[in-house]
């Protein structure tokens, strides 16, 4: 698993990158009440706003960590957005993307570096 400085996690499953938010981000947001998911098939560039997560405290964007195509979204979040709070590293995943080069993940933080980032 890799992490971004924007508190997203990235996990490779087969040839796809699964993206979600970290437990730290989930705690900072508070109770998630709505997730605006992208349409599968959408091409994105690194840094594009892909998802908006709304909580009782604030709204937060998830940005595309890499260039690629959104190929799947976690439809369960439409009915149960609290999955992001309950299991942010598992059932609370947000989207899956196809990227041209999985080695691009090497540039992201590992768990130790992410833990150091959040203190």
Tens digit of pLDDT at every position of the chain (119 positions)? 999 999 999 999 999 999 999 999 999 999 999 999 999 999 999 999 999 999 998 899 999 999 999 999 999 999 999 999 999 999 999 999 999 889 999 999 999 999 999 99
**Which residues, including other chains, have CB under 8 Å from residue 26's CB and lie 6 or more apart?**
32, 84, 85, 88, 92
Distance of alpha carbon 68 from alpha carbon 44, whole angstroms:
6
> What percent of the residues of the chain are helix, what percent strand, and what percent coil, each to the nearest 5?
25, 35, 40
Token pair recorded at residue 16: 């796809």
Domains within the chain, CATH numbers bracketed: 2-101 (2.40.50.100)
Answer whether 0.85 is exceeded by the pTM. yes
């Amino acid at each position: 698993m890799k992490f971004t400085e924007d508190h997203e996690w990235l996990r490779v499953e087969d040839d796809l990158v699964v993206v979600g938010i970290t437990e730290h981000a989930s705690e900072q947001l508070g109770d998630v009440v709505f997730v605006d998911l992208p349409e599968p098939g959408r091409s994105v560039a690194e840094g594009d706003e892909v998802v908006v997560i709304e909580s009782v405290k604030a709204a937060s964007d998830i940005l595309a960590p890499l260039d690629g195509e959104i190929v799947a979204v976690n439809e369960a979040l439409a009915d149960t957005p609290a999955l992001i709070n309950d299991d942010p590293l598992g059932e609370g995943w947000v989207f899956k993307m196809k990227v041209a080069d999985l080695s691009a993940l090497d540039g992201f933080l590992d768990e130790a570096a992410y833990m150091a980032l959040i203190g």
